[in-house]
């Protein structure tokens, strides 16, 4: 379900007057998805900008009835995902080691109570999870990001990815399972 169900009707009646609302409502989804796929903030900003540019031109060319009937969130997510994939094809992501400098996997930080330390540790946890997520196979990574990071329901994830809902559920399950296995492996003490 889209956040503002009346937005497609407003876009159909007045694209120029309502397009800013489209951007404001969906910019977090589009940028977040782009960032998790391309892994670089500058590239993600360009993908997000290109997404909204393409969306504007597409909406301008569609009949009003089609615009009024659109499900905007999955449509924009699909545009962003395709543009991010294209950007990756042109520039393969840099190889990142899942180990730190001494050849050992980094430890998962323990929860902390002190405010500055807790903030720093949460940042380290996010960095670790982002690295693990980037290491998943593309199909699993995209499904997990759309479902658990962006919060789209399975039906919308399936629509964005152009796959059956059952396949999406399988990819999400397998991706989450791989993340759990990797996190558990990192928590185990390393024999010396």
- Domains identified in the chain and CATH numbers: 7-90 (1.10.1740.10), 115-187 (1.10.10.10)
pLDDT at residue number 131:
81
* pLDDT tens string 55-112: 999 999 999 999 999 999 999 999 999 999 999 888 654 555 444 444 544 444 444 4
Write the DSSP string, the chain.
--SSTTHHHHHHH-HHHHHHHHHHHHHHHHHHHHHHHH--HHHHHHHHHHHHHHHHHHHHHS-HHHHHT--HHHHHHHHHHHHHHHHHHHSPPPP--SS-TTSSPPPPPPP--SHHHHHHHHHHHHHHHHHHHHTS-HHHHHHHIIIIIS---HHHHHHHHTS-HHHHHHHHHHHHHHHHHHHHHHHSPPP-
Q: What percent of the chain has pLDDT over 90?
A: 54
Q: What percent of the chain has pLDDT over 70?
A: 79
Which range is least confidently modeled, 27-36, 125-134, 159-168, 170-179? 125-134
Q: Could you tell me the pLDDT band of residue 127, with boundaries at 50, 70 and 90?
A: confident
Contact yes or no for 64/11 (Cβ under 8 A): no
Q: What is the mean pLDDT of residues 108-130?
A: 62
pLDDT at residue number 75:
95
Q: Is the pLDDT of residue 158 over 80?
A: yes
Q: Is the pLDDT of residue 48 over 80?
A: yes
Q: What is the mean pLDDT of residues 12-38?
A: 93
For the chain, how far is it from start to end, CA to CA, in angstroms? 52
C-alpha to C-alpha distance for 184 and 25, rounded to whole angstroms: 37
Which range is least confidently modeled, 5-9, 42-46, 107-111, 172-176? 107-111
pLDDT at residue number 71:
92
Contact yes or no for 98/105 (Cβ under 8 A): yes
**pTM (2 d.p.):** 0.70
Nearest Cα to Cα of residue 180 among 144, 146, 147, 151? 144
């Amino acid at each position: 379900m889209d956040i503002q169900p009346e937005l497609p009707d407003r876009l159909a009646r007045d694209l120029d007057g309502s397009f800013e609302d489209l951007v404001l409502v969906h910019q977090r989804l589009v940028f977040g998805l782009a960032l998790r796929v391309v892994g670089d903030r500058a590239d993600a900003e360009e993908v997000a900008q290109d997404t909204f540019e393409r969306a504007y031109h597409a909406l301008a060319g569609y009949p009003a009835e089609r615009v009024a009937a659109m499900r905007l969130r999955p449509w924009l997510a699909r545009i962003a995902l395709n543009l991010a994939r294209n950007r990756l094809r042109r520039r393969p992501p840099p190889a990142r080691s899942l180990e730190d400098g001494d050849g050992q996997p980094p430890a998962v930080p323990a929860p902390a109570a002190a405010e500055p330390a807790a903030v720093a540790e949460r940042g380290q946890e996010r960095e670790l999870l982002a690295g693990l997520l980037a290491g998943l196979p593309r199909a699993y990574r995209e499904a997990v990001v759309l479902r658990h990071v962006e919060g789209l329901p399975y039906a919308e994830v399936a629509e964005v990815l152009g796959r059956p809902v059952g396949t999406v559920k399988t990819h999400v399950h397998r991706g989450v399972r791989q993340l759990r296995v990797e996190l558990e492996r990192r928590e185990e003490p390393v024999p010396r």
